[in-house]
Amino acid sequence: MMPFRYENNQLCLLDQRLLPHEEKWIEQKNSHDLIESIKNMTVRGAPLIGFTGLFALAFWFKDQLKPTVDGYKEICQLIKSARPTAVNLMFEIDRIYPSILKKINSLSHMELYQEVMKDCFAQIDILNQKNTHMAHTGVDDLKKIYGSKKLNLMTHCNTGMLACGCTGTALGVISYAHDQNLVNHVWVDETRPYLQGSRLTAFELEKENIPFQVVVEGAAHYLMSQKKVDAIFVGADRIAANGDTANKVGTANLALIAHHYKIPFYVVAPLSSFDFSLKDGSAIHIELRDDKEILNYKEHRIASHKAQAFNPSFDITPGHLIHGIICEKGLITNPSIEKLKVWHV
Ligand code: MRU
């Protein structure tokens, strides 16, 4: 399901916090609304956050009769700081920044608005093609390892259309593997505490008629030790030059267990999720979120009223635990700083 709608200059976002039980569309009237929608997780998922950042920039131009260079710099900084871990947000704004800067004094504010909107939709189309290509790369590698055997796959968080605004990354591979009749079953990590797995991935798999069951993250060792998992596909929020990967918290645990049982563990993400300025994952800013996400379920308190919680939203999977990283340029197995250099653009 597409997470946004744009018709007659009106932009609405699907409120992902209410899925799967309620489908509510929220009209975004200005850049403030869009930045707030990134912060409060109306939209989430690394690529979609990046595109929403571009929408926020476009809407800023719409409201500025005479945009200035200083104002432009300020709004770009504000958008980039809406969420810290997924680098796609910074990538998209930094990518478009110089070309818009050049035009800021020659185009009208409405022309700048149109320009950024056009660029954003073009990027969504491009990502769609890249993700389709990555899905083929992932399935080709599965075929090399397992032939035509029907597989039990596992995934974490949500990496489908809801996270990307087009074909998914890791979920795109799973969906294509299903089209190729290679999927027996998908284990969906519920993905505590925000439940992107049980609320969003399950919803997307159900729509595609892909057989799945939701499991708690704590079941991962049991499933892998019982040979019930043939491969794991996850997405990424930021990948450092050596392959260390920030992704939704709980990902690194899966990678460790998979490494122990020699189960192929794949990270699937476009180059817009790579941060080659970081030599390893130690400098990646891990977002800390409200402890209520752990202590409450929605408005309902679960833990005692005095309990406190610590809520890092992401973790770093060391590159050496990853069997393969897939991006639009192909697959690199056993990633290292040397091997990943060929993707550095
Ligand atoms: O906090 P979220 O839901 O924005 O988390 C980001 C993610 O969706 C995941 O970490 C995902 O695995 C990578 S984005 C395709």
Residues 239-264 have pLDDT tens digits of 999 999 999 999 999 999 999 999 99
Q: What is the mean pLDDT of residues 144-170?
A: 98
What is the predicted pLDDT for the residue at 299?
87
Distance from residue 158's CA to the centre of ligand 1 (Å): 6
High-pLDDT (> 70) share of the chain, %: 100
C-alpha neighbours within 13 Å on the C-beta side of residue 2: 10
Q: Check pocket membership of 317 for ligand 1, CB cut-off 6 A.
A: no
Distance 108 CA to ligand 1 centre (A): 36
pLDDT in tens, 52-109: 999 999 999 999 999 999 999 999 999 999 999 999 999 999 999 999 999 999 999 9
For a mutational test of ligand 1's pocket, the pick from 159, 161, 191, 289, i.e. the residue with the most ligand atoms closer than 8 A to its C-beta, is 159
Which residue owns the Cα nearest ligand 1 atom 15?
159
Cβ contact 201:171 at 8 Å: yes
Contacts of 176 by beta carbon, 8 Å cutoff, 6+ apart: 132, 135, 136, 138, 139
Ligand 1 site, residue 157, Cβ cutoff 6 A? yes
Residue 167 confidence (pLDDT): 95
Q: Which residues contact 327 (CB under 8 A, 6 or more apart)?
A: 130, 134, 268, 269, 270, 271, 273, 274, 343
> Which residue's CA is the closest to the ligand 1 atom numbered 10?
248
Residue 45 in contact with ligand 1 by CB distance below 6 A: yes
Q: Which residues of 183-211 are buried (b: 16+ CB within 10 A; e: fewer)?
A: bebbbbbbbbbbbbbbbbbbbbbeeeebe
Mean pLDDT (the chain) is 97
Confidence tier at 183 by pLDDT (50, 70, 90):
very high
Residue 310 pLDDT exceeds 70 = yes
Confidence of residue 345 (pLDDT cuts 50, 70, 90): low
Q: How far apart are CA 235 and CA 168, in angstroms?
A: 9
What mean pLDDT comes out for the span 131-138?
Answer: 98
CB of 83 within 6 A of ligand 1: the answer is no
Residue 225 pLDDT: 98
42 lines ligand 1 (CB under 6 A): no
What separation in Å is there between the alpha carbon of 340 and the centre of ligand 1?
22
pLDDT in tens, 279-304: 999 999 999 999 999 999 888 999 99
For ligand 1, the distance from its centroid to the CA atom of residue 313, given in whole angstroms, is: 9
Q: Which residues are catalytic?
A: 237
Ligand 1, atom 11: closest residue by C-alpha: 235
- Average pLDDT on 151-155 reads 98
CA–centroid distance, 251 to ligand 1, in Å, is 11
Atom 9 of ligand 1, residue of closest alpha carbon: 248
159 C-beta closer than 6 A to ligand 1: yes
Specify the ligand 1 atom closest to the Cα of 163.
Answer: 15
CA of 345 to the centre of ligand 1 (A): 24
235 Cβ inside 6 Å of ligand 1: yes
Q: What is the pLDDT of residues 188-236, one digit of tens each?
A: 999 999 999 999 999 999 999 999 999 999 999 999 999 999 999 999 9
Q: What is the pLDDT of residue 298?
A: 84
d(Cα 308, Cα 300) in Å, to the nearest integer?
15
